[in-house]
Amino acid sequence: MRLTKIILSFISAVAILFSMSATSFAKVVGNKIVLGAAVSLTGKYSSNGVHTQNGYNMAVDRINSMGGIKVGGKTYKFEIIYYDDESNPKRAAQLAERLISQDGVQFMLGPYSSGLTKAMAPVTEKYGVPMVEANGASRSLFTKGYKYLFAVLAPANLYLDVAIKTAVELNGGKGVKVAMAFEQDAFSQDVRLGILDAIKETGSTKVIDDKLPKELNDMAATLVKVKQMKPDVLVVSGHTKGALTAIRQIAEMKVDVPMLAMTHCDAAKLSKQHGKNSQYALCASQWHKTLTYKDNFFKDGMTYDADFNKMFGYAPPYQAAESSAALLVFKDAFERANSFDQKKVRDALAATDMQTFYGNIKFAPGGQNVSKPMVLFQVMCDAAGKCENKVVAPLKWASAKLIHPVPKWSER
Amino acid sequence: MSKNNLILYAAILIFGLAAPFIFPAFKVQLSILCVLIVLAITWNIQGGEMGYNSFGNILFYGLGMYLCASVQVGMFFPLAEWTESGGEKTFVHTPVQFFQGMAVGLVVAAVVPTIVAGLIGYSILGLRGHYFAICTLGLGVAAGEISGGIEIIGAGQGFTTPPFPNIGSLEARGEFFYFLSFFTLVLTFIAVRSIYSTRFKLILNAIRDNEDKAEAMGIETMKYKIIGWMISAFFCGLAGGIMGGLVGYIDSTDVAFDGREMGVFMVLMAILGGKGTLWGPIIGATVFHIFKEGFWTFFLGWQYVALGVLIVVIVIYFPEGIMGWLREKYPERFGEIVDEKDRKAQVELK
């Protein structure tokens, strides 16, 4: 039977193909430290994936041009191998495996979003590969006992609880009615948990608790309910698309709510895309350019903002800033460890205690950054329609006073 | 079985057993390849042989994935606390617990989807053609949305499957999952091959070629259609269970009920290789997987465009799949006797 021959030759062809592509290049080659990263270049997180990548690239450029990393008396430069995880956890887990076992990467940077980080962490942990991640905030990442995972950002449950507490404070300490709409993903669901805790703590009540689909393009059903129930606070979280959809439909449907709290306003470039419609939206942010943190590489937030703008043509959202910070952390750890031994670098990372333009970084035993508070900013527009994000809480950083309650659409 | 066939199977078996040691860096990709082949073979049972194009097999795959992981956790620890999003407790499986849980989990992951296939098959296999395809498409989407709301399996937070215990070397995990998926593949192949050598396959083909006529001849088509789908579901569930452990993280719509990717891929692989053949889905899945991995490396950010071009090329140049194309090109190698004169005469008549 000749078919046998066809199949046999096919198998050998496959074998040859596999063996040819098995080129493995190691972590530290010559004067380069190769880091691996899977980011979302396509799929539902693609815009934030690009912010992440730009943040990484900017820091690599800056660190390399300012003398690189000194380990054992030799100077090294950073290089990153990127893959596209397509915003898909299955793909992300495969890519982590691929970066480590095929590309020989020994140090990793995180992907965008909690879900993808959750998929990659078991793999990096298994191989003892230190991973500094800047975009996985879900609390459940830090309760799994991972030893090689470090996050430069504050956990997700702390994103918006401040908003609820502020609303209660402005209500004279009495509980408020809260409407919530969250996307079905690890990050947003964790933000939801934070809100639930805050509701419990302040004696508030939840009047709407909706789950939104992942490809979030329509939340009219929730908004109709909001119109009926008249809550004091509306909380929406669903990455960039969630923020854009919420603002678009709230404006279209003229939904009046005294406080609108969201995430991802700056990543979605809300004030630019929706102008005055986005006015008064209250947003949780890991970073804002006006914060007065400093470091030697990017100087401060304002300088970072200007340099990033020059390099990529848009204002950096916090996703980019925290990604840049991840590389500063790695550089610092390499130099303190003075070695490329994964265990030593891991220990150096765990002992990190530094200030960057993005904020202070010090890791708790679970790997989350505990020394950096979240900030809340509000989108504020002037008469000419030029909108800007201004920090309103915590008071230490505030550059403007919170406008509350939000004026009704009929009065705008 | 002819001698040639024996040599072929022995060669493949040896290649399969040696593969993780020849290409140690590719264990995960090879494991996924085995799972993909299983999915393509099982899709082919009702998609290729029976002519019922299902987009719903992803339902069984996802179900198997969630079931296997849930059983593996639930047998030893409280499942609700494991998946609780803010969960503060850390549970660790001992090696014995891990493997016991996995074994029981895989059995459940295979059996339950089979029963589900029987139940829903009874109600929807009465639909034909496009109506059946659309209906099954809905099944997968609905399952994804529903599972995304069930708290005990993690809902939108996702479900982290038990980490592989610390035994042996770093390679242990990869080797375990590779051999698990490879043996599942072998099992599937043997099962499907023996099924294909019985009257059952002829009945499925009869249903595909003309269901009414088959019924008129006294075949209880409904019964066979359901059985065919149940066989598919059995192996799909098994594949899902393995994949869940391999990926390590289950998300309702992106990993488990991933109709947009896996659900479409299994159809695509079967068609690429040639549906309605035994080897077609295997070749299709292998070619597809290699191309896909290649595109992901060389066309970063454009991989789906490249994949799209590949699909267009397949549809235009290989509408019958690789096996169909080979068959047309070298009919004598498939045991078909070609009377050249007769063939020419036919061509000239047209």
Grouped pLDDT means (10 residues each) for chain B, 350 residues? 83 92 88 96 93 93 96 92 70 91 97 96 91 92 90 86 83 91 96 94 94 93 95 96 92 89 90 89 93 81 82 83 86 73 67
- Rounded distance, CA B220 to CA B186, Å? 30
Across the interface, whether the CB atoms of B333 and A98 are under 8 A apart is answered no
The lowest-confidence range among A180-184, A232-236, A290-294, A391-395 is A391-395
**Tokens 């430290």 sit on residue:** A33
Q: Which domains does chain A have, with CATH numbers?
A: 28-154+291-362 (3.40.50.2300), 158-285+382-411 (3.40.50.2300)
> Which of A42, A157, A182 has the CB atom closest to B304's CB atom?
A42
Percentage of the residues of chain A whose pLDDT score is greater than 70: 93
Across the interface, whether the CB atoms of A90 and B254 are under 8 A apart is answered yes
The lowest-confidence range among A8-17, A382-391, B266-275 is A8-17
- B207 falls within a domain: yes
- B144 falls within a domain: yes
Give the pLDDT band (50/70/90) at residue A116: very high
- B206 falls within a domain: yes
Give how far Cα A348 sits from Cα of A148, A332, A357, B5, Å: 11, 8, 20, 59
pTM to 2 decimal places: 0.86
- B300 falls within a domain: no
Q: What is the pLDDT of residues A179-198, one digit of tens each?
A: 999 998 889 988 998 999 99
Mean pLDDT of chain A: 89
- B317 falls within a domain: no
pLDDT given for residue A215 in this prediction: 77
- B154 falls within a domain: yes
Assess B165–A contact: CB distance below 8 Å, yes or no: no
- B265 falls within a domain: yes
Give how far Cα A343 sits from Cα of A26, A363, B163, Å: 17, 16, 20
Assess B255–A contact: CB distance below 8 Å, yes or no: yes
- From the CA of A275, how many Å to the nearest CA of chain B? 31
- Rounded distance, CA A390 to CA B238, Å? 53
Contacts with B254 from chain A: Cβ below 8 Å = 87-90, 115, 214
Across the interface, whether the CB atoms of B303 and A102 are under 8 A apart is answered no
- B17 falls within a domain: no
Across the interface, whether the CB atoms of B170 and A193 are under 8 A apart is answered no
Give the pLDDT band (50/70/90) at residue A24: very low
The torsion angles phi and psi of A84, rounded to 5 degrees, stand at -100, 120
Q: What is the pLDDT of residues A227-251, one digit of tens each?
A: 999 999 999 999 888 999 999 999 9
Q: A266 with A289: CB under 8 angstroms?
A: no
Across the interface, whether the CB atoms of A101 and B283 are under 8 A apart is answered no
Q: What is the pLDDT of residues A313-332, one digit of tens each?
A: 999 999 999 999 999 999 99
Q: A207 with A179: CB under 8 angstroms?
A: yes
- Restricting to B residues 57-116, those with a Cβ less than 8 Å away from any Cβ of A are 85-90, 92
Q: A206 with A179: CB under 8 angstroms?
A: yes
Domain with B141 in it: 27-282
| Percent composition of chain A: helix, strand, coil (DSSP 3-state, to 5) | 45, 20, 35
Tokens (6 digits) for A93: 């887990």
- Rounded distance, CA A77 to CA A67, Å? 8
Contacts with B148 from chain A: Cβ below 8 Å = 184, 211
Give how far Cα B281 sits from Cα of B20, B44, B92, B110, B267, Å: 22, 7, 39, 21, 9
Average pLDDT in the A385-402 region?
87
Beta-carbon contacts of residue B158 (< 8 Å; ≥ 6 apart): A89, A115, A118, A186, B249, B250, B251, B252, B255
Give the pLDDT band (50/70/90) at residue A385: confident
Q: Considering its fold, how many domains does chain B have in total?
A: 1
Assess B301–A contact: CB distance below 8 Å, yes or no: yes
